[in-house]
Structures are given as C-alpha cells and as structure tokens.
Structure 1
C-alpha cells in the first residue's frame, strides 16, 4: 500500500499542494522547506506587486540585470524565446509597455523548486499550483480540470474533464480568467483576450505548458496548430451557451479518462 504524505505551502499569493508517495520520513521536512524556500525566492525576484523585488527594481531602472540574480535574465530570455516560438501569442510586454513575465514564472518556479523534492526520496510526487500540475515517478495520477465558471477554490465542484498524468504527460497548465478576471491580453490588439473561456495544455515540461497555455489564451486559434506541432495536447473551453453549458474542443491525443 502506498503511503502518501500531503501538505500545502503558500507562496506567490497562492497555495501549492504537494503529495509525496513512500517518502523517507526523516527527509520530508527538509525537502519541503527547501521547496517552499525556492518558491518564496522566486516571488522575491519576479513579483510585480512587491516594490523591493528584483524585477520591480529593474523595471524602475534602480538596477541593471547584472545586479540581479542570473535567473531574472534567464526568464526574460525565455519570454522572448516563447514570443518567437508562439508567433507572438505569448508576449511578456503588456499594452502599457510594462514587462510582465507572469505567464510563465509560476511554471518555471515550480519546476525549479521541485528539484528539492528529490531529497525526500519519494517513489512518486505531485505538485498542484492553482491549475498547474507537475508529477514525477511511475504512478498515474488523475487530475480534474476546474470548470472556468467557478471562482474561488474549486474543491468539491464538478470538473470539465479528468486527465491522467504520468508517462507521456507529466505536466499540465491551465490558463483563463476564472480566478483572475481579464488578466490575459491579446498581443495583437493589446486588449483583453476573449478567444476562449479556458485553455489547458498537457506535455512533459511545466514551463513550456504554462507558456503555451498563456499563448493560446492570448493569441487564439492561430497558436493552437503551433502547439500541436510541438507534441503538446490541448483542451479548449470555447464559450458558454444560453443554457449555462459550454462548448469544448480537444486535440486527438488529449489524455482524458472520462
């Protein structure tokens, strides 16, 4: 029988759920502390809401990139790479000109911090981060995708789909306006993106899935084909009907188990 340890840590103004299967009890606390510290550190570097973050200081002109952790340059360069890869669907520069890498920072931060979970010697583990999920190990995990019409904590509410992560798919990212209204913009028009109610992307790298989910939500149908060419799978909640239901489309390889 699998012995699963489950806890929640808070950072970046959101909860991160961690599950460790058959972990070494003597190593769990240390591994979780390092994982949590990694997320807190990411917030101190990239937060746009903290005046003393490195990103805020850089945007104000109070420091240059060489004075910030090298990861700031790494993420900004990744934003530019994804802008080109998505044909402009992902763009970290907002209409007002402010550089905002939020569209991939969460996935990047989870990927970076999760390396500390290896110290717990768990057979399998999972991190859930407000719509984004990263797993490791051999155990298949079934993950529900929240209904975009539900605001706040979706726990206990009906889901729009259930996917299985593990094996070919170890990462899942979801982007939309359910929890933070009108925070995704269309890079072409500069206005709030209304292409889809919600976009989910499944693949093997959470940073990649996070960036492409944002790109599809912002750039619309033209970006979907490019995502599929990179062996990503997508679920699109395309709009609501008059009766309160919604339309959805998924790619052929989407890992649904419903």
Structure 2
C-alpha cells in the first residue's frame, strides 16, 4: 500500500508492502513528522525555532528535544570541519539541515516498532527503507539537477545501505553556505546506512567540495554521487574514492 501526505513543506510518500496496515500506524507516522514541524519549523511564527531565530526565546530556554538536536548538529559541524553548520552566517540557529532526516528516522522507528517487514519512506527525495527480500533490493531514483522530471541515476540499496539523501541548488537555489568558494558541486547524493548521516553529509559535501567528499567516504563509509558545476558526474565509494 502507499500513503501520501504533506508536511514540513514537502510531500511524504510511504510505501508499505503489507496490505493490512493499521490506520493508527499511519496516523502515528504523520504525527511524528508533525511534531518535528511544530518544534523546528522557522516558517511557523510561534514555533520554538522561529522564536529562537528572532530572539524571543533563548536556546537555553528551549525544550530538551530542541537542545538535543542542536547538540547533534553541532557535533556534525565539528566532525565535518564546519562544512555542515547549524548556524546561518549571521549566527542564527538553523537546524533545517538535520531535522527532516530526524523526522524520517522517527517515522522509520514507528514502522519497525510495529513489526512492518518491508517499507520505504520518501520525504521530498530523501529516502529511508526497511526490509527487503533477498535479490529484490529497494531501488531509488535520483533526479537530474537540470530537470527534476528526469532521472540522473538509480541506486539499488544493497547490504547495509538503507538511506539516500540529496542536497543541491536546482530547486532551492543557493541555500547552503559554502566553504569551498568555487562552488564545486551543484548536487550531491549520499547513500548510507542511516538517514541522518546521509542527509548531513550530502549538505556537507555540497558546502565543502572535494575534500569533504573524500572525508565523508573514508570516515563514514558512504557512497557519493555528485554533479559538478560543469555537469560532470563524480561517483565515489569506500573502495573507489579516487575522483
């Protein structure tokens, strides 16, 4: 079965290979996304994130959940040498680079907790999967940066690979603060074992360029598919990270 709903400024498509899914489980998945949206959306004027951004609320006065994800994001900033950063250039806290992945992860936990054997959660092109019979892996399409209606590539999620995340400039413009002034990549897709690592590293590589790409592959053992500013395709994995 397939269940589609809108949340967090995007569309979530949930595929569950089980015809007898309880409606309460679908409601739980939606509720988990909604909870992250209420807490972290900067587009909701009264959300904690919006109030922190404009100074009405201090970070120290925020909820434990908010402080937890801020700490997680700062940890990633330190691990990537600043390529991933939970702050805007003016110092404002912005957790958008990690929160959608956190919501996807929470949805996946709900599905696994309910005993669903095989499922796929796609939130605006970022994908987390669960289960899969031998020989029939989940296959995820990656949109072309110049034409969202066209596929750049497809990825078969084999072995421990469960997550795919993409960061780019084609649909949202230059929304990532780059540390590589050349703007080396226009789109970066990361394939990994968990959605938070994949999503954070996609943003980090887009911001930091080639050096961060190789750091990501070597340290976190992810696969990367990137499109350069000139349109060339770069693919790197823990075995073949030579591009």
TM-score normalised to structure 1 length = 0.85
Specify every segment of 5 or more residues in structure 1 that has no aligned partner in the other structure, as ranges.
241-245
1:9 matched to 2:5? The reply is yes
**2:138 maps to what in 1?**
141
Q: How many residues are treated as equivalent by the alignment? A: 235
Aligned residue among 195, 199, 207 for 2:196: 207
1: CA distance, partners of 2:36 / 2:145: 27
**2:233 maps to what in 1?**
248
Matches within 5 A, 1:157-172: 157-172=149-164
Conserved 8 A contact 1:32-1:116: no
TM-score normalised to structure 2 length = 0.90
1: CA distance, partners of 2:192 / 2:38: 28
Matches within 5 A, 1:76-95: 76-95=70-89
1: CA distance, partners of 2:3 / 2:109: 17
Deviations 1:224-252 (A, max 9, x none): 12101211110110133xxxxx3101014
**2:98 maps to what in 1?**
104
2: CA distance, partners of 1:73 / 1:24: 38
| 1:119 shift after superposition | 5.4
Q: Give the root-mean-square deviation of aligned CA atoms.
A: 1.9
Specify every segment of 5 or more residues in structure 2 that has no aligned partner in the other structure, as ranges.
none
Larger relative contact order (Cα-Cα within 8 Å, sequence gap ≥ 6): 1
Matches within 5 A, 1:15-164: 15-25=11-21, 27=22, 29-65=23-59, 67-118=61-112, 120-139=114-133, 140-150=137-147, 154=148, 157-164=149-156
Aligned residue among 193, 197, 213 for 1:224: 213
